[in-house]
Structure 1
Amino acid sequence: MNTRLLIVIALIIAGIAGWFFQQQDEVSPPVSIEAPDVDYEATEIKAVQTNEEGETEYKLTAESLTHNPETNLDEMSGITMNWEPSAESRYLIEAGTAAISQQTGDLSLSGGFSLISENKKESSDIEPIKVTGSTLKGNTKSGKIYSEEPVQVEQGMNRFEASSMTANLETGEYEFGQVAVSFTSAERQDKALF
């Protein structure tokens, strides 16, 4: 073949390819990259928080954790927390979801929670208190918690419901609002006194 013929065929092919690409429309919609809503996220979390003296405040396990930069909160799901606000008491807290501020210590539990008090003294005869409800708020640094929604309370054989609760976990003091108790008395037995 002649070289001139090959050059002409190459120019025709290049012209057709150039015309074809010129006829193509722009890609729509254009790709946009936005900043993510989280700084970091992790799964299967095991964490320990200490105070300024290096003493353990709480130990925490969670299924997942994400840090929200807008609110500066650690948002977790499936949490279990061993909280020791004082030398005498320890609390086991479980919740569906939680949001904790590491700087302020503010804590918000939702998705159902369970709070169980445990006395560190082995010889204690005091039954643990178990409080369950839907939401719980508090502060890990002050040791105070509260719920403005109904809670159920159990201690040994005693059970009652309350419309709200506040507690100071360092001192072990609880306050309940509008307590409702159902009381079943023992069956009456008529016996002769003499």
Structure 2
Amino acid sequence: MNTRVLIILALIIAALAGWFFTKQGDIEPPVSIAPTDVDYEATDIQAVQTNEQGETEYELNAESLTHNPVTNQDEMSGVTMNWEPSDEQRYRIQAGTATINQQTGELQLSGGFTLISEDKADSNIAPIQVSGQILKGNTKSRQVYSDKPVKVVQGMNSFDASSMKANLETGEYEFGQVAVSFMPPERQDQALF
């Protein structure tokens, strides 16, 4: 082979390699290293909150937790909370995500929630289960509410409501625009005599 052809071929290969290198050398999008709003992060959380008398108020389990110092809120995912705000009531709350402010007690559950209420004094009463998309409340005032639709189930009974308010200390609920489906048993004709 002619040396001139080999030199031209080598220059073409070098030009292609240079072009390829310059195109592959760019990082898109450029990496920016900036401070985050996260103060600390943790996974597999198990926490206990006590009241002023040192009694357990609630137990909390979460898959992950991040603390945002700007908003002073703990942001959690995969949340399960066992809450006993009084001697009569016990609650189990599950949610996809939750934010809580430890100083004010403000709480917001989102990504779907389930609130199960049990009467500690009478185990014969079926638990009340409330489920919906968003639940807000305050752990200090022991009040929760949802201005989004909720579904309520207790034993064989169920209904839908457009909103809900609850005092978890007393176990009192208030529902807005309740929709109930009533299915009476089938009629069975029997002779009286």
TM-score band, normalised by shorter chain:
0.7 to 0.9
Q: Counterparts of 2:186 and 2:70 in 1: how far apart (Å)?
A: 61
Q: Counterparts of 1:184 and 1:119 in 2: how far apart (Å)?
A: 27
Match of 1:74 in 2: 74
Match of 2:113 in 1: 113
Match of 1:179 in 2: 178
Match of 2:83 in 1: 83
Q: Does 1:151 align with 2:150?
A: yes
Shift, 1:36, TM fit = 1.5
Structure 2, unaligned stretches of length 5 or more?
Answer: 1-25
Match of 2:141 in 1: 142
Q: Counterparts of 2:144 and 2:71 in 1: how far apart (Å)?
A: 21
Shift, 1:160, TM fit = 0.6
TM-score w.r.t. structure 1 length?
0.81
Q: Does 1:170 align with 2:169?
A: yes
Q: Counterparts of 1:192 and 1:149 in 2: how far apart (Å)?
A: 50
Q: Secondary structure at the match of 1:126?
A: coil
Q: Counterparts of 2:157 and 2:31 in 1: how far apart (Å)?
A: 62
Shift, 1:32, TM fit = 6.2
Q: Counterparts of 2:36 and 2:153 in 1: how far apart (Å)?
A: 43
Bigger Rg, structure 1 or 2: 1
Q: Does 1:124 align with 2:123?
A: yes
The number of aligned residues is: 166
Runs ≥4 in structure 1, deviation > 4 angstroms?
A: 28-33
Shift, 1:125, TM fit = 1.4
Q: Secondary structure at the match of 1:42?
A: strand
Shift, 1:35, TM fit = 2.0
Q: Counterparts of 1:115 and 1:55 in 2: how far apart (Å)?
A: 22
Structure 1, unaligned stretches of length 5 or more?
Answer: 1-27
**Which amino acid in 2 is paired with 1:88?**
E
Change (3 A) 1:133 1:32: closer
Q: Secondary structure at the match of 1:64?
A: strand
Q: Secondary structure at the match of 1:116?
A: strand
Q: Secondary structure at the match of 1:70?
A: coil
Match of 2:96 in 1: 96
Q: Counterparts of 2:55 and 2:113 in 1: how far apart (Å)?
A: 26
Shift, 1:187, TM fit = 1.1
1:83-134 C-alpha deviation (Å, 9 max, x unpaired): 111011110000000000000111000000000012223x531111000100
Match of 1:188 in 2: 187
Q: Counterparts of 2:63 and 2:163 in 1: how far apart (Å)?
A: 29
Q: Secondary structure at the match of 2:59?
A: strand
TM-score w.r.t. structure 2 length?
0.81
Change (3 A) 1:153 1:193: same
